[in-house]
Structures are given as structure tokens and as C-alpha cells.
Amino acid sequence: MSDTTPTNADIPVVVLCGGFGTRIREASESLPKPMIDIGGRPIVWHIMKTYSHYGFRRFVLCLGYKAGDFKDYFLRYREHQHDFTVHLGSDHEPQFHAQANGPDLEDWEVTCVDTGLDTRTGGRVARVAHHLDADTFMLTYGDGVADIDVAALLDTHRSHGRIGTVTAVHPTSRFGELAVDGGIVTDFAEKPMLNEGLVNGGYFVFERAFLDYLTPDAGMIESNALQKLTADGQLGHFVHKGFWRGMDTYREYVELNRLWDDGAAPWKKW
């Protein structure tokens, strides 16, 4: 371990982006789930923006299904975001134009790694280990958004001194919750957060020692490495009480886009 505490900008953020997303094919038959849009940007971009809001700028994407879609998006990111002039018939580089009130280009370092089509989550993390050059790294899934304070998550991790920290959230009900008084409904909450129990919210922090729990052919990180880490007393937790939502179904895709279009997206902190 180094004697100096690295800044958030030094810490890699690993994003698991390799799954098939078979339960949300109604939204897109042609895109991997992390590339499906919310408000015109892939959901993985929204996740990365959450981290960059707190100073994280180095991302390692664990790719699998349709890895080329991610590579093309980030290789051509500047082209997608700016107007430009290209001189056809020459080898000149495109000339990009400043745009009044146009989008800013993020100061991100994005490493795209094809970790295999059928690799499980534990194996995907193991296969990007050579890109994790800091003592600590963040890890999350590429298909959910939250208004989580990832800097506070990191502080909690450092405070307890264990190998890993998992974000714990109250689960979201699949159904609308009703409050009634006599024969009248007094409150209707769509997909409320339940107050009982905690579940894995998918935002992690790990020390490099966690890589010793993984191999390139490891199974699911949740049913293997995290259980071993728990048995060793090396997994702490950080409770997030705010907004948290996965995009596992078409209904959730529609809901997240509605929140964005209404200017009411809780995860938009930038």
C-alpha cells in the first residue's frame, strides 16, 4: 500500500457491461443493455457521469455481448458530440467546431476490454486485473442508476479497513403501494422503496487483495467471491437510502426515460 491516499481521479471504476440483457429486448433488439438510451445517452454513460460528478474519471468497461458497440461509441465519442468538417479525398483529420451551449467533452479515460461472450462476472473482473493499477478500485453494474454519493461510499470503505464494501439498499417493490382510509385511497406510491431488509445495490469498493478471490474462469461474483469474502469477515457495507433503480425490464426502461424527460431524474447530480 502507498503512503499517500490517492485522489478519486486516480481510482479505476470497473463497470460490468458484458451481459445479454434478454429481459429487455422490447427496448432494443440490436443493443446490449448498458448501451440502451435514457434521454438519448446510453445508461452506462449516466452511470459514468455519476462517478465523474465525484471526481472519478478512469473507467474500465468489462465487455462481452456486442463488445463492438461500446468500442465504436467511445472511439467516435467526439464525433457524436460535436459538429465537424471533414475533407473528403484527403487524409486530414476532421476539424471539430466549438458549439455555443453545446455539450462538454468529459475528461474521461475509458478502457474497453472484451472479457468474453460467456464469461461470468467474477471472471470478467479477473480479466481486467492488469488495467487496475491502484491499490483500490470501484466496481458496479452497467444497467442501473442511483443518486448515490460514491465519494461517501469510498470514505466508508476506507474507514473500516476491510477488503471490500458493498452498497446496501432497500429493495424496490414491483407493485404500487397504496395507503387507504376507509374506502378511499389516500396515497399511491409507484414502485416504492421497501423499509424492510437490505439487498445488494451493486456499487462496490475493493482493495487489490480481492483479485486473489477471482480467476479468469470464475463464476458469478455474487455467489462465489463475495460469499468467500463474507466468510473471511472482509466485506463491509454502506447503506444508501436514496433513489436506486435497475433497468431490467421494458417497464423500467420506460419509467427511467419518463423521469429524465420530466426533468425529475434523481440520479442527475451533474
On whether residue 186 sits in a domain, the answer given is no
On whether residue 45 sits in a domain, the answer given is yes
Q: Does the pLDDT at position 184 exceed 90?
A: no
Going by pLDDT thresholds of 50, 70 and 90, the confidence category of residue 24 is confident
On whether residue 87 sits in a domain, the answer given is yes
Going by pLDDT thresholds of 50, 70 and 90, the confidence category of residue 214 is very high
Q: What Å distances lie between residue 43 and 39, 124, 145, 221, CA to CA?
A: 9, 20, 8, 22
Would you state the pLDDT for residue 162? 95
The domain tally of the chain equals 1
Q: Does the pLDDT at position 174 exceed 80?
A: no
On whether residue 192 sits in a domain, the answer given is no
| Reported pTM | 0.88
Q: What is the Cα–Cα distance from 176 to 31, expressed in whole angstroms? A: 30
On whether residue 20 sits in a domain, the answer given is yes
Would you state the pLDDT for residue 12? 98
Q: Residue 77: give its domain's CATH number.
A: 3.90.550.10
Q: Which residues have C-beta within 8 Å of that of residue 11, sequence separation ≥ 6?
A: 56, 58, 134, 136, 137, 138, 154
Range of the domain at 74: 8-169+198-261
3-state secondary structure of 125: helix
On whether residue 270 sits in a domain, the answer given is no
On whether residue 154 sits in a domain, the answer given is yes
Q: Does the pLDDT at position 227 exceed 90?
A: yes
Cα four-point dihedral sign 34, 32, 168, 244: positive
On whether residue 188 sits in a domain, the answer given is no
Q: What is the Cα–Cα distance from 72 to 97, expressed in whole angstroms? A: 21
Q: What is the Cα–Cα distance from 18 to 34, expressed in whole angstroms? A: 9
